[in-house]
Amino acid sequence: MSGDQNILDEKREFEDVIGAWDDSVPCLWRLANGRNCGRPARWMLNYHGCVRGTVCTQHLNRWVKRCEEFAAGRSSVRCSKCKRRFLSVAAVYSAVRI
Ligand SMILES: [Zn+2]
Ligand SMILES: [Zn+2]
């Protein structure tokens, strides 16, 4: 655990992962100290249209890994915005190189 952010732990819901970033550039990954990452964004992360945000490669990889870890013990994950259920993390998002 790097400790530079804490967006996902067993007490949190899946939507908190999504809430960890919002819409602007560059990398919007919010660190535990309340600041954004600020490195140049390399990816546009699209959370099935509900949320979009730009992230650097490191934070994209971390986000995906954490989502997958979160989803691993669950049969599905639910989006708090549109209430859709998804059977896998891969179905939830797309990431496009920018
Ligand atoms: Zn970043
Ligand atoms: Zn949604």
For the segment 26-50, what is each residue's pLDDT rounded down to a tens digit? Answer: 687 777 677 878 888 889 889 899 8
Residue-level pLDDT at 13: 55
Whole-number Å distance, alpha carbon 29 to ligand 1 midpoint, is 5
Return all residues near 55 (Cβ < 8 A) that are at least 6 apart: 21, 27, 28, 29, 37, 41, 42, 43, 45, 63
Give the closest ligand to the alpha carbon of residue 92: 2
Give the closest ligand to the alpha carbon of residue 37: 1
Whole-number Å distance, alpha carbon 84 to ligand 1 midpoint, is 27
What's the pTM? 0.64
Is residue 94 scored above 60 in pLDDT? Answer: yes
Residue 34: its H or E element: none
Give the closest ligand to the alpha carbon of residue 85: 2
